[in-house]
Chain A
Amino acid sequence: MTPRLTTLVIVGLVALVGSAPLWATPYHITLMIPAMAYGIALLGLNLLFGYAGLLSFGHAMFVGIGAYTTAVFTSKLGIRSFELVLVASAVAAALFAIPIGLLTVRYVRIFFGMLTLAFGMLFHSFLFKFYHLTGGDSGMRVVRPTLLGQDTQELDKIAFLTGPFFLYVLALLVILGLVMLRIVHSPFGLHLKALRENARKAEYLGVTVRRFRLAAFVISAIYCSIGGVILAVPTGIADPELAYWTHSGNLIFMTLLGGFTNFFGPILGAFSFILLQDQLMSATQYWRFFLGVVLALIVILFPRGLMGILESLMARFSRGRS
């Protein structure tokens, strides 16, 4: 596909999603909110995984940081500005990510994965055990935030979610998507790709490997925390399960499902996962089994994920036409 056609398709898809209140049911609109939240989180995770070649098993921790920052701000401090919460969660995620990143990016492959898993589990244990601070297993309440300074209490929850909040989150996805697009096509993004392919060679060429990996780690943490902020609002709670290692597994599943080799793969993965899980959960109590089968099939047959399948179909179509 030409860049111009790609742009047209993306604009068309954004317009389609943005017009969802006109054609989708309220339930399906509310389903798109976590899909977009995960889309943002996965854009960050894939900077680390797809571009820098580091697979984290602990990024649910940053989703949890986003959710708990929202809870602390809205229900404990009484600060309900969504914009302030977004900034605060990004700062909190960065403050956690810098020391953790300094320790973890010294390692690669399974060692990096295990270290991130360990830090994720430490954070989960903190949330679970320090219940006087965090609410333990009961979590912390998230109060509805204001958007652009406007209080929406006059709307009921569904009207709030399917109206202003939905459009706000879509705008966030677009803005953060454009920022990430700029990042991956900048010299920084190219350096990440170079060190992913051959870190030693990149170092010889002047790439300061650890500093670049650390920067990718921090950016990915910020994206995940913003995803966590968005996830916490519809459910109205920040609970420790958001930071549990199985949630990190879900993030990786979504990335693989959509395809980590394509920039838009993780967003497609997030939407597909939410839809697939929703349908399977209603259809059968063995939905986890079927999700496992899908993951196995994707890894074995389509390692480039759904986006890879689409790319192959497009290439075949182009060859057929020529």
Chain B
Amino acid sequence: MDLGRRKAIKTIGTAGVVAATLPILGFPAIAQNRPLRVGIIAPKAGIAGTIGECGLQGTLFAVEKINAAGGIAGRMVELVIEEETNPKDSIERLRKLVLQDKVDCVQGIVSSGVSLAMGPAAEEMKALTIYWDGTTQDGVDETMAKPRYVFRSTDNECEAVMASLLVVKHWKGKFKTIAGINPDYSYGRNNWAAFQALLKKFGIEFTVVAEQWPKVGTLDLTSHVAALKAAKPDMIFSSLLFADLPVFMRTAHSAGLMEGTRFAFPAAGFQHTALKKEFTPEGMIFGHNTLYFDHPQANALQKEFVAYYHNKTKDYPHWEADRAYFAMQAYKAGVEKAQKAKNAWPSIEEIAAAMEGVKVDSLGGPGRMREDHIAEQTFYQGITTHKNKYDFPTLGVVDTMYSDQLQKPPGANFWKWIETAQIKL
């Protein structure tokens, strides 16, 4: 009876999938002659809409260059673009891309919540997936301990680690009280905790006088700014990064919070052109992370992309464009490495295996994909200045670090790594 039921369920499952896949079966040779299809899932609206659009420009730039040079292992690349929304609907978009559009690879994702939910789903569907962003510590170990098909961006906390190191480097001994205003989700909480852990690691004595946790996308921050002003901190650390950051900056400026207070914004680069000089002061620690568009020693590729982006959008790009470019180039490198090794078109598993260890010259500088499927990239942060040709601040002092100094090594625990790592300032 038990065996019969088990057999029946198995048969139903097999019959279901065989029947359902019959219309899509094709010959491998035909499949290889068609263009490579890459699915993109990125936010197009709401507070992260501009982030997704910037990433998409990085993808388009990469695809134009790849196709102009003959494609990936001889196959042109075409894109199928879907919108990233909440975890449930974004996973349904992933399913559509894989089952309906038959994409060869999925790239994108900005939100941590979506990336953590999508990881196991992509693994179960054996869908080669490369994240642009959204790799916070929370849940990563539990949901994606040893991914086979999913590749992640550098840890999101790299930004906070670098900003914290710059605070120590530039402002040690210049503050005693600190306050935080960080978005109320895993990214904000981890960044704030990492900042305090690093201050302790470097022997800085401090007192936390205020903690503010606005919900992501809160566009009235008056009460939060008032609470910060009342606490009179010497220094404020903030991981605000979406459309709420310019609102915070305007409100803080109007309330006089900027006077006499130091600021560190590890992720402000997402909003750099919206933070106008009139309300964004000089002297802040400011994270542009894996792409600083105005770097005086930028390579030719970055200069070409910044010009391309500015011509198309009349704006200047941020690091999400670099992440998207990196994802596409890492995929290209993996496919071509696997194809060369096999001398035939490789399977998804072979491509995924080949992507481990590939090196990529991305828009912001060199990077690689680690064997544990986490990216290594070059980071840029520094201190803001108004001495430039733009209506928003840029970096007067640029600090550069490679992410092997900013993120935990493979298999390590982030919080233990902070305690034990030998980090150079």
Chain A nearest CB: distance from B160 CB in Å?
17
Contact with B along A135-168 (1 / 0, CB 8 A): 1111101000001111010111111101110110
Please give, as numbers and ranges, the residues of chain A lying within 8 Å of B139 by CB-CB distance: 135, 138, 141
Contact with A along B8-20 (1 / 0, CB 8 A): 0110111111011
Please give, as numbers and ranges, the residues of chain B lying within 8 Å of A214 by CB-CB distance: none
A131 at the interface (CB under 8 A from B): yes
Please give, as numbers and ranges, the residues of chain A lying within 8 Å of B138 by CB-CB distance: 131, 135-136, 138
Q: Give me 16 other A-B pairs in contact (C-beta within 8 A), A27-B96, A236-B117 excluded.
A: A25-B99, A29-B16, A131-B138, A135-B139, A148-B9, A149-B2, A150-B5, A154-B10, A156-B17, A159-B16, A159-B17, A235-B87, A239-B88, A242-B88, A281-B82, A282-B82
Does A25 contact B9, Cβ atoms closer than 8 Å?
no
Chain B nearest CB: distance from A142 CB in Å?
9
The majority secondary structure among interface residues of chain A is helix
Q: How far is the CA of A167 from the CA of B6 in the complex (A)?
A: 15
Chain A nearest CB: distance from B248 CB in Å?
20
A53 at the interface (CB under 8 A from B): no
Please name the residue on chain B nearest to A135 by beta carbon: B139
Please give, as numbers and ranges, the residues of chain A lying within 8 Å of B88 by CB-CB distance: 34, 231, 235, 237, 239, 241-242
Please give, as numbers and ranges, the residues of chain A lying within 8 Å of B87 by CB-CB distance: 139, 235, 237, 239, 241
A26-60 interface with B by 8 A CB criterion = 26-31, 34
Please judge, given known A-B contacts A148-B5, A236-B120, whether A27 and B99 are in contact too, CB under 8 Å: yes
Q: How far is the CA of A156 from the CA of B20 in the complex (A)?
A: 14
Does B16 contact A166, Cβ atoms closer than 8 Å?
yes
Does B9 contact A164, Cβ atoms closer than 8 Å?
yes
Please judge, given known A-B contacts A26-B21, A164-B12, A285-B44, whether A136 and B117 are in contact too, CB under 8 Å: no
B413 at the interface (CB under 8 A from A): no
Does A162 contact B17, Cβ atoms closer than 8 Å?
yes
Residues of B within 8 A of A (CB): 2, 5-6, 9-10, 12-17, 19-21, 23-24, 44-45, 82-83, 86-89, 91-93, 95-96, 99-100, 112-113, 116-117, 120-121, 124-126, 136, 138-139, 142-143, 184-186, 189
Instruction: Tell me which of B17, B44, B96 contacts A278 (CB under 8 A).
Output: B96
Instruction: Tell me which of B9, B99, B112 contacts A147 (CB under 8 A).
Output: B9
Q: How far is the CA of A34 from the CA of B92 in the complex (A)?
A: 10
Please give, as numbers and ranges, the residues of chain B lying within 8 Å of A231 by CB-CB distance: 88
Give the interface residue-count category, chain A: 35 or more
Q: How far is the CA of A91 from the CA of B48 in the complex (A)?
A: 38
Q: How far is the CA of A63 from the CA of B2 in the complex (A)?
A: 33
Residue among B13, B15, B96 with the most chain A CB within 10 A? B13
Instruction: Tell me which of A150, A157, A158 contacts B6 (CB under 8 A).
Output: A150
Chain B nearest CB: distance from A284 CB in Å?
10
Q: How far is the CA of A171 from the CA of B89 in the complex (A)?
A: 24
Please give, as numbers and ranges, the residues of chain B lying within 8 Å of A22 by CB-CB distance: 19
A182 at the interface (CB under 8 A from B): no
Q: How far is the CA of A131 from the CA of B44 in the complex (A)?
A: 28
Show 23 residue pairs from A and B whose CB-CB distance is below 8 angstroms, ordered by the A residue: A25-B24, A26-B99, A34-B88, A34-B92, A131-B138, A131-B189, A138-B116, A138-B138, A139-B87, A139-B113, A148-B9, A155-B13, A156-B125, A158-B99, A160-B13, A162-B16, A162-B20, A164-B16, A236-B121, A239-B87, A281-B83, A282-B82, A285-B83
Please give, as numbers and ranges, the residues of chain B lying within 8 Å of A241 by CB-CB distance: 86-88, 113
A21 at the interface (CB under 8 A from B): yes
Please give, as numbers and ranges, the residues of chain B lying within 8 Å of A152 by CB-CB distance: 9-10, 13
Please give, as numbers and ranges, the residues of chain A lying within 8 Å of B23 by CB-CB distance: 25
Across the A-B interface, the 3 shortest Cβ-Cβ residue pairs: A163-B13, A163-B16, A27-B99
Instruction: Tell me which of A162, A166, A236, A285 contacts B124 (CB under 8 A).
Output: A236
The majority secondary structure among interface residues of chain B is helix
Does B14 contact A159, Cβ atoms closer than 8 Å?
yes
Does A235 contact B20, Cβ atoms closer than 8 Å?
no
Does B124 contact A235, Cβ atoms closer than 8 Å?
no
A288 at the interface (CB under 8 A from B): yes
Please give, as numbers and ranges, the residues of chain B lying within 8 Å of A34 by CB-CB distance: 88, 92
Q: How far is the CA of A29 from the CA of B121 in the complex (A)?
A: 17
Q: How far is the CA of A129 from the CA of B189 in the complex (A)?
A: 11
Chain A nearest CB: distance from B43 CB in Å?
10
Does A21 contact B16, Cβ atoms closer than 8 Å?
yes
Does B112 contact A137, Cβ atoms closer than 8 Å?
yes
Please name the residue on chain B nearest to A141 by beta carbon: B143
Instruction: Tell me which of A162, A164, A281 contacts B93 (CB under 8 A).
Output: A281
A90-144 interface with B by 8 A CB criterion = 128-129, 131, 135-139, 141
Q: How far is the CA of A278 from the CA of B386 in the complex (A)?
A: 46
Please judge, given known A-B contacts A136-B185, A152-B9, A163-B14, whether A237 and B117 are in contact too, CB under 8 Å: yes
A24 at the interface (CB under 8 A from B): yes
Q: How far is the CA of A241 from the CA of B24 in the complex (A)?
A: 34
Please name the residue on chain A nearest to B187 by beta carbon: A137
Does A155 contact B117, Cβ atoms closer than 8 Å?
no
Does B92 contact A137, Cβ atoms closer than 8 Å?
no
Please name the residue on chain A nearest to B43 by beta carbon: A285
Please give, as numbers and ranges, the residues of chain A lying within 8 Å of B16 by CB-CB distance: 21, 29, 159, 162-164, 166-167
Q: How far is the CA of A29 from the CA of B20 in the complex (A)?
A: 8
Q: How far is the CA of A234 from the CA of B91 in the complex (A)?
A: 9
Please judge, given known A-B contacts A141-B120, A241-B88, whether A27 and B185 are in contact too, CB under 8 Å: no
Does A27 contact B95, Cβ atoms closer than 8 Å?
yes
Chain B nearest CB: distance from A78 CB in Å?
14
Please give, as numbers and ranges, the residues of chain A lying within 8 Å of B184 by CB-CB distance: 128-129
Chain A nearest CB: distance from B122 CB in Å?
10
A259-290 interface with B by 8 A CB criterion = 277-278, 281-282, 285, 287-288
Does A21 contact B124, Cβ atoms closer than 8 Å?
no
Please name the residue on chain A nearest to B116 by beta carbon: A138
Does A159 contact B96, Cβ atoms closer than 8 Å?
no
Does B17 contact A163, Cβ atoms closer than 8 Å?
yes
Does B20 contact A25, Cβ atoms closer than 8 Å?
yes
Chain A nearest CB: distance from B121 CB in Å?
5
Please name the residue on chain A nearest to B136 by beta carbon: A138
Q: How far is the CA of A25 from the CA of B20 in the complex (A)?
A: 5
Residue among B12, B99, B100, B125 with the most chain A CB within 10 A? B12
Please give, as numbers and ranges, the residues of chain A lying within 8 Å of B185 by CB-CB distance: 136-137
Please name the residue on chain A nearest to B99 by beta carbon: A27
Does A136 contact B20, Cβ atoms closer than 8 Å?
no
Chain B nearest CB: distance from A282 CB in Å?
7
Does A288 contact B45, Cβ atoms closer than 8 Å?
yes
Please give, as numbers and ranges, the residues of chain A lying within 8 Å of B96 by CB-CB distance: 27, 278, 282
Please give, as numbers and ranges, the residues of chain B lying within 8 Å of A148 by CB-CB distance: 5, 9
Does A157 contact B125, Cβ atoms closer than 8 Å?
yes
Please give, as numbers and ranges, the residues of chain A lying within 8 Å of B13 by CB-CB distance: 152, 155, 159-160, 162-164
